[in-house]
């Protein structure tokens, strides 16, 4: 942390700042220029309030111009802490392996056994590795479908059995963590729950792999801090998922932030998955955005596929028909090869 004093700051003011730093357990490194005095805080605070609060305390002083943090507000998930990529093994499928691009696919929501199995068999035949399907669905409207709950988890488990495919499914509520952990190979945390800190903390106490979706209005730094909530509790099996953010654009459901794929690779060792289905909201755009994501370095993609999108209870407009998913797999493979990976 660096504290820049205002040009009118006096010797007394400087003394005040140094004392405050020492009281909080920091060492002091001083740089006195002609116009500005810069005070560097060295070491780790012993103050029980966190660093962000200490920064605010200094910012509250009238003779302080600016307080700047030099280190990142997350550690366990940062690349500095762990330079090698994290590879998460899910029943033998290696997510985050630099040689491999993982494909997760399936319906948005588990509707019926027939619908799930038709989608699951189709995505498996096309080469997908992991089956997706929601049993607990977040919904902007309280009147829409919220998922079948445990019966849907049982259907997913049966599909896993038949097709030998791991399953990813969303856990929406902290009260359901134990139950969903009994079925899921990967827990999904949805965009609306990225900042549900009690849920993140609870999932952090398990060892179940988790895919943390980016909050639709979250910065990359906030998203990494959310991942830090999980990892700092001991669950290091965290992957991130870029699913599009809110912008002024209305043609697409969200705006896919391709920057985030490259930025996460630069800042963190965690695997990054792209979700072109929710990012675009339009089946016609999913193929192109999947290719872009893989070209940018995504470790995987998650795609919504439905045998009958016009009858889907949720997200029909962005769901691919099985044929379109076959084409997507075919089109993404050479892009993966071009960046030195295979599917």
Residues making contact with ligand PEP (CB under 6 A): 108, 134, 138, 190-191, 213, 243, 278
Residue of minimal Cβ distance to ligand PEP: 190
The residue (of 102 and 108) whose beta carbon lies closer to Mn ion is 108
Work out how close the CB of 67 gets to Mn ion at its nearest, in angstroms, rounded to a whole number.
41
Question: How far apart are the C-alpha atoms of 327 and 321, rounded to whole Å?
Answer: 10
Q: Identify which range of 51-59, 103-111, 197-205, 215-223 contacts Mn ion by CB under 5 A.
A: 103-111
Work out how close the CB of 160 gets to Mn ion at its nearest, in angstroms, rounded to a whole number.
20
The residue (of 26 and 215) whose beta carbon lies closer to ligand PEP is 215
Q: Which of 259, 245, 171, 183 is nearest to 212 (CA)?
A: 171
The residue (of 299 and 315) whose beta carbon lies closer to Mn ion is 315
The residue (of 228 and 315) whose beta carbon lies closer to Mn ion is 315
Work out how close the CB of 196 gets to ligand PEP at its nearest, in angstroms, rounded to a whole number.
12
Work out how close the CB of 247 gets to ligand PEP at its nearest, in angstroms, rounded to a whole number.
15
What character string, x for contact with Mn ion (CB under 5 A) and - otherwise, covers 208-247? ----------------------------------------
Torsion from C-alpha of 139, 140, 141, 147, nearest 10 degrees = 0
Of Mn ion, ligand PEP, none, which one does residue 265 interact with (CB within 5 to 8 Å by kind)? none
In sequence order, the β-bridge partners of residue 210 are 187, 238
Phi-psi region of 238 (alpha: psi -120 to 50; beta: other; left: phi over 0): beta
Question: How far apart are the C-alpha atoms of 121 and 133, rounded to whole Å?
Answer: 13
Work out how close the CB of 280 gets to Mn ion at its nearest, in angstroms, rounded to a whole number.
12
Work out how close the CB of 90 gets to ligand PEP at its nearest, in angstroms, rounded to a whole number.
17
The residue (of 45 and 138) whose beta carbon lies closer to ligand PEP is 138
Residue of minimal Cβ distance to Mn ion: 108
Residue 172 makes contact with Mn ion by CB under 5 A: no
Residue 275 makes contact with Mn ion by CB under 5 A: no
In sequence order, the β-bridge partners of residue 2 are 40, 68
Total residues contacting Mn ion (rule CB under 5 A)? 2
When binding is defined by CB under 5 A, the residue of 3, 110, 315, 341 that contacts Mn ion is: 315
Residue 108 makes contact with Mn ion by CB under 5 A: yes
Work out how close the CB of 138 gets to ligand PEP at its nearest, in angstroms, rounded to a whole number.
5
Of ligand PEP, Mn ion, none, which one does residue 243 interact with (CB within 5 to 8 Å by kind)? ligand PEP
The residue (of 88 and 105) whose beta carbon lies closer to ligand PEP is 105
Work out how close the CB of 264 gets to Mn ion at its nearest, in angstroms, rounded to a whole number.
22
Work out how close the CB of 279 gets to ligand PEP at its nearest, in angstroms, rounded to a whole number.
9
Answer yes or no: are the C-beta atoms of 259 and 295 closer than 8 Å: no
The residue (of 165 and 241) whose beta carbon lies closer to ligand PEP is 241
The residue (of 129 and 278) whose beta carbon lies closer to ligand PEP is 278
Residue numbers at the binding site for Mn ion (CB under 5 A): 108, 315
């Amino acid at each position: 942390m660096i504290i820049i004093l205002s040009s009118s700051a006096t010797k007394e003011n400087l003394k005040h700042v140094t004392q405050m730093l020492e009281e909080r357990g920091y060492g002091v490194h001083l740089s006195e220029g002609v116009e500005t005095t810069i005070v560097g805080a060295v070491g780790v605070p012993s103050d029980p309030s966190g660093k962000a609060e200490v920064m605010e305390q200094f910012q509250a002083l009238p003779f302080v111009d600016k307080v700047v943090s030099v280190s990142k507000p997350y550690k366990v998930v940062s690349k500095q802490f762990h330079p090698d990529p994290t590879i998460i093994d899910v029943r033998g499928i290696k997510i985050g392996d630099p040689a491999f691009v993982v494909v997760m696919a399936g319906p948005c929501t588990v509707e019926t056994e027939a619908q799930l199995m038709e989608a699951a068999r189709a995505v498996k035949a096309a080469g997908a590795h992991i089956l997706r399907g929601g049993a607990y669905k977040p919904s902007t409207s309280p009147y829409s479908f919220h998922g079948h709950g445990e019966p849907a988890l049982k259907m997913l488990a049966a599909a896993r059995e038949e097709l030998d495919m791991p399953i990813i499914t969303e856990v929406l509520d902290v009260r359901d963590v134990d139950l969903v952990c009994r079925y899921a190979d990967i827990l999904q945390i949805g965009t609306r729950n990225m900042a549900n800190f009690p849920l993140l903390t609870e999932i952090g106490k398990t060892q179940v792999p988790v895919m943390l979706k980016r909050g639709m209005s979250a910065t990359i730094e906030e998203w990494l801090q959310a991942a830090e909530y999980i990892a700092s509790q001991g669950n290091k099996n965290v992957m991130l998922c870029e699913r599009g953010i809110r912008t002024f654009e209305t043609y697409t459901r969200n705006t896919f932030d391709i920057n985030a794929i490259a930025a996460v690779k630069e800042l963190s060792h965690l695997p990054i998955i792209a979700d072109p289905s929710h990012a675009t909201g339009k089946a016609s755009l999913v193929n192109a955005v999947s290719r872009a994501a893989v070209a940018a370095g995504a470790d995987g993609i998650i795609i919504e596929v439905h045998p009958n999108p016009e009858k889907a209870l949720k997200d029909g407009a962005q769901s691919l028909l099985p044929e379109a998913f076959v084409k997507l797999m075919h089109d993404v493979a050479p892009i993966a090869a071009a960046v030195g990976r295979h599917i």
